[in-house]
């Protein structure tokens, strides 16, 4: 299992909010690319995974523009979690759901997922285990390193760990 970074663990231990934890986690897992590119799933994205209508591969943005877009995407993801999840969560658990459900797979897929059904039914261990099953990107099995998306497997391991934290 891929361990969480010392920075994320320090934020959790220090009692940071879900948004602070999620922000650090997403910075580590997504990076901040200033030039739009096509991700492993074929989606044109920029900054920390932001998707904009009409954006094209190679389009350039400034770091300041990305910071604004990243902040807006994080806040929107937090609001999406409010609409999807109906049970109390700790800050690290909420950070995991922001990253996995709202930010990465999207509210549509998350809303119909076994993960969300189990989470809202109060089966947190079962829900957290579901996170680790989402290891395909653009139809590619990310456990196969040659598919170029193995980072997805590591990310799911880390989201799983955050999901289990009280």
Indicate if 154 belongs to the active site: no
> Which one of 28, 39, 123, 157 is the catalytic residue?
39
Measured from the Cβ of residue 138, the count of other Cβ atoms closer than 10 Å reads 14
> Which one of 30, 130, 137, 159 is the catalytic residue?
30
Indicate if 39 belongs to the active site: yes
**What residues are annotated to the active site?**
30, 39
């Amino acid at each position: 299992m891929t361990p969480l970074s010392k920075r994320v663990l320090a934020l959790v231990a220090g009692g940071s909010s879900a948004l602070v934890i999620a922000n650090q986690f997403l910075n580590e897992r997504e990076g901040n690319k200033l030039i739009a590119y096509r991700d492993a799933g074929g989606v044109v994205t920029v900054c920390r995974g932001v998707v904009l209508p009409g954006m094209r591969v190679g389009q350039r943005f400034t770091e300041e523009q990305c910071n604004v877009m990243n902040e807006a995407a994080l806040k929107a993801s937090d609001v999406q979690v409010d609409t999807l999840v109906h049970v109390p969560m700790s800050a690290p658990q909420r950070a995991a759901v922001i990253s996995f459900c709202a930010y990465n797979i999207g509210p549509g897929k998350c809303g119909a997922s076994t993960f969300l059904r189990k989470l809202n039914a109060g089966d947190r261990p079962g829900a957290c285990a579901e996170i680790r099953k989402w290891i395909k990107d653009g139809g590619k099995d990310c456990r196969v390193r040659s598919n170029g998306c193995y980072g997805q497997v590591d990310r799911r391991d880390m989201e799983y760990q955050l999901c289990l934290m009280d």
